[in-house]
Homo-oligomer: A and B are copies of this chain.
Amino acid sequence: MAAILGRVFVYGGKGALGSVCVSTFKTKNWWVGSIDMKPNGAADANVIVNVEQNWIDQENSILNQIQEILGENKLDGVICVAGGWAGGNAANKDFIKNSDMMWKQSVWSSVIAAKIASQYLKEDGFLSLTGAKPALEGTPGMIGYGMAKAAVHQLTKSLAADGGGLPSQSLVATILPVTLDTPMNRKWMPKADTSTWTPLEFVAEIFWKWSQNQERPANGSLLQLITKYNKTEIISV
């Protein structure tokens, strides 16, 4: 059995972006754990999230599963790419239902990922979270989504600050995509200009570089992923 070169957990590891992250790190012969509602067969270990549970019970269940999987081992990275999307303004009949769902999908996952990082990340490890460029301003057509992503942005700043609770030399940074080039987005927006969509492989490669201590941004960075003519630029807010 080959030596393990590094260990990473991918929160949302069964989703479109998460699956590409899992396979990217597996290709590099890393140990990869997935955290999601369903197992990812390509991962070395799977932590299953029970979405019927409340936030605290999810935390306990996930942390217990991770403890059992990792034992004394530490992590080089925690990648949180869990999330979802729902629209609606304040007058929408599903305003609160959708706000609730957005919070659970984006913030519960990000906060539990931060908790995992605080307990298991190596001194120079990294934590990546997923925000959204539109949430840097008002998002009247998708209010719940914007609130949840704004909370993730501010969480990033808190975690990067002195006393935020992460290991002292670690990195926390958040990607702010506009539109990711996922199968679902291709299905729901068949006529869109996909030359402005960000490829999933590009995002996974960012995380890979951070794991190699390459091109790490300043701690607490919010990194807009701006794709034009099929080229993506990373622009720190």
Contacts and interface: CB of A to CB of B under 8 A. Distances in A.
A138 B118 CA distance: 17
A76 to B, nearest CB: 18
Contacts of A84: none
A147 B140 contact: no
B154 A140 contact: no
Q: Which of A55, A111, A118: most chain B Cβ within 10 A?
A: A111
A70 interface: no
B111 A96 contact: yes
Given A91-B165, A141-B163, A164-B143, A100 B55 contact: yes
B91 A118 contact: yes
Interface string A193-237: 000000000000000000000000000100000000000000000
A138 B165 contact: no
A216 B148 CA distance: 28
Interface in A143-190: 143-144, 146-148, 150-166
Contact of A147 (B56, B154, B220): B154
Interface of A: 54-56, 59, 89-92, 95-97, 99-100, 103, 107, 111-112, 114-115, 117-119, 135, 137-141, 143-144, 146-148, 150-166, 220
9 contacts: A89-B158, A90-B164, A91-B165, A95-B115, A96-B111, A140-B158, A141-B163, A143-B155, A150-B153
